Homo-oligomer: A and B are copies of this chain.
Amino acid sequence: MVSMKMIAERCKVSVATVSKALSDRGDIGEDTKNRIRQTAKELGYVPNVAARALKTKHSYNIGVLFEEQAGSGLTHEYFSGVLNGLKLQIEQQHYDLTFINTSFENSDMTYLDHARYRNFDGIAVICCDDYESPQVQELLRSDIPTVTVDYIHQNCTAVLSNNIKGMEDLMKYIYSQGHRRIAYICGQTGSYVTKDRLAAFYRTAEELKLDIPGEYVIEARYMETKESAEATKSLLDLKNPPTCIIYPDDMALIGGRNVITERGMTIPGDISIAGYDGIRMSQLLHPKLTTIRQDTERIGREAGRRLIQSIETPKTALVERVVIEGELLTGQSVGKITPETNNQF
């Protein structure tokens, strides 16, 4: 490996001078600088980030916490989209992305230990089984700049998809199509996302003067097609079933969709359905799903941008709440219905 020392020897200068020449900082003559830079290029010099980090405490490396709970990690289009956005952004700003080790069995390091071990300049928490766990909390409380996605902690800048507005937009659109009996199969309560959406669901219902019977709101975990299928059955079996069902996400929707078609009902003829997330597949299905597309790349990019900002200019960096708007994709899975239909039962 070619080091500064070699360049120094070749150019008959000191290592210090080489460092100055390459970093373009400090006092150095114009011609010497060029000579050194030229030699560095010729020799194919690449700086050693480990040595640099050792000295400067600046690793140009960002740790990303990405816990995988039963397919809800890398293989989840939402999270992988966010990760991708994050990656693109920080690469643009000359940082690298390293996963924080989530394998505990043979590691006695906590997340924070791991972050210190790797000298991460900052941390992005993208997805997490349990944000309230001691390990995660320890990380969030630490003095390492941290950004969270879809979770709020007093210490950290958070990037949040606008679940409130998203749900509201979705509800109002469904309402505008004539629906008055709207059910919501919501994701696991306890998650911030569900809380927001659920609150927005009820609030908007109130605003629209809709009556939401207790049986119309059922919990089913995100991405769990079986649970959403069960929930759908129970909704369809109601004496007064909804005319439209909102699902936790597009994937879970498929579970319900299958139940509906198995019963010989058509979408949106006999019943309307709406999803959330706007995964790629949702616009390929027939009928196209009515859903809220989340701008995952944007979410990731914003997270990256803010994180690096708080790394590089800690004074100007605030703890922010950045909200990214979703986009209503009207699709065709929510149909127009007449008032009579609403009263037919």
Interface residues of A (CB under 8 A from B): 1, 44, 46-51, 53-54, 59, 61, 68, 71, 73-75, 77, 80-81, 83-84, 87-88, 91-92, 94, 96-99, 101-103, 105-107, 109, 113, 116-119, 225, 251, 254-255, 258, 261-262, 280-281, 284-286
Contact = CB atoms under 8 A, between A and B. Distances in A.
A84 B59 contact: no
A113 to B, nearest CB: 5
A81 B73 CA distance: 10
A280 to B, nearest CB: 7
A98 B91 CA distance: 12
B96 A74 contact: no
Contacts of A281: 251, 254, 281
Given A103-B91, A106-B92, A254 B284 contact: yes
Nearest to A92: B103
**Which of A74, A91, A99, A118 has the most chain B CB atoms inside 10 A of its CB?**
A74
Contacts of A117: 46-49
The complex is assembled from copies of this chain, and their number is 2
Given A74-B84, A74-B87, A254-B285, A49 B119 contact: yes
A25 to B, nearest CB: 18
Contacts of A99: 87, 91, 96-98
26 contacts: A1-B116, A50-B50, A50-B119, A61-B98, A74-B74, A74-B80, A74-B81, A74-B84, A74-B87, A75-B77, A75-B80, A75-B81, A75-B280, A88-B103, A91-B107, A92-B103, A92-B105, A92-B106, A94-B106, A94-B107, A97-B99, A251-B284, A254-B285, A258-B286, A262-B286, A281-B281
Contact of A286 (B50, B77, B84, B261): B261
Given A53-B50, A92-B103, A99-B97, A255 B280 contact: no
Contacts of A255: 284
Nearest to A285: B254
Nearest to A109: B46
Nearest to A100: B96
A251 B225 contact: no
Contacts of A80: 74-75, 80
A101 B96 contact: yes
